[in-house]
Amino acid sequence: MLMLIFLLIATNAFGRVFSDSIADQFLDNVIYGPLEKEIKAMNLDPASLPDFGIPFTYEFGFIPISGRVDFSNGIFNGLSRVRRLAQCQGPEFDLDDIRIECGLNFFGMDIVYDGKATIEQLIPIPFQVTGYVNETHVHSVISGVPTSLKGNLRLFEITKFGDINLRLSNLGLFQNAYNAVEERFREKVKEELVTIIMTMFPIAFKQAIMQVKLPGLG
């Protein structure tokens, strides 16, 4: 027991200079191997997005126009492109805990939906919309017991969600229909992506963390 305490104190006192690289290497080992496999195994890249429809009303001159835009066959790509954001903090050692704090950078994510715009009794017009998600950042805390050297995900939170830039095929006269629902479409897509990142991704992340030896005394 005294030897364990001495080693912990020595690690804190003299190991700071190496701690960042050790923590960075640990996270990189998680990301560039186990995490990619877990994401693929859970069908998260690509991931299916739910169908939904948005009704709308707008005025064309003084004439009220109403209709609906339906979105289907949604696909979310790029979750496995996650990378480490800057340097990790740690590892910090205690008698019963090893702690690492790391940022994650989600970049290169995109979505694709098939759309169908319907105005009044007119024939629906099909189109496609693509969304590119700017960098999204997550703060994570990983910790574990020194004797086991197996980590667990203790904290996972989004600190920045990137803007979603949308592009669509030409709708011609139906462009106003899409314009009427664009912001609600963007909000719905963001809601679905946040759900995947905050509920499904951590499951894959936890499984990947368990497969890599946590920095410690062993």
Mean of pLDDT values over 82-108: 93
CA–CA dist 197, 158 (Å, integer): 9
Point out which residues pair with 64 in neighbouring strands.
59
CA–CA dist 194, 72 (Å, integer): 19
Do 168 and 108 contact (CB within 8 A), yes or no?
no
% pLDDT > 90, the chain: 70
**For the segment 179-200, what is each residue's pLDDT rounded down to a tens digit?**
999 999 999 999 999 999 999 9
Exposed (0-12), middle (13-18) or buried (19+): which is 69, by Cβ within 10 Å? Answer: buried
**For the segment 109-133, what is each residue's pLDDT rounded down to a tens digit?**
999 999 999 988 888 999 999 999 9
Domains and CATH numbers, the chain: 23-210 (3.15.10.50)
Mean of pLDDT values over 141-169: 93
Exposed (0-12), middle (13-18) or buried (19+): which is 25, by Cβ within 10 Å? Answer: middle
**For the segment 163-176, what is each residue's pLDDT rounded down to a tens digit?**
999 999 877 777 88
147 confidence band (pLDDT: 50, 70, 90): confident
Which of 200, 195, 112 lies closest to 161 in space, CA to CA? 195
Point out which residues pair with 72 in neighbouring strands.
114
**For the segment 26-63, what is each residue's pLDDT rounded down to a tens digit?**
999 999 999 999 999 999 999 999 999 999 988 877 88
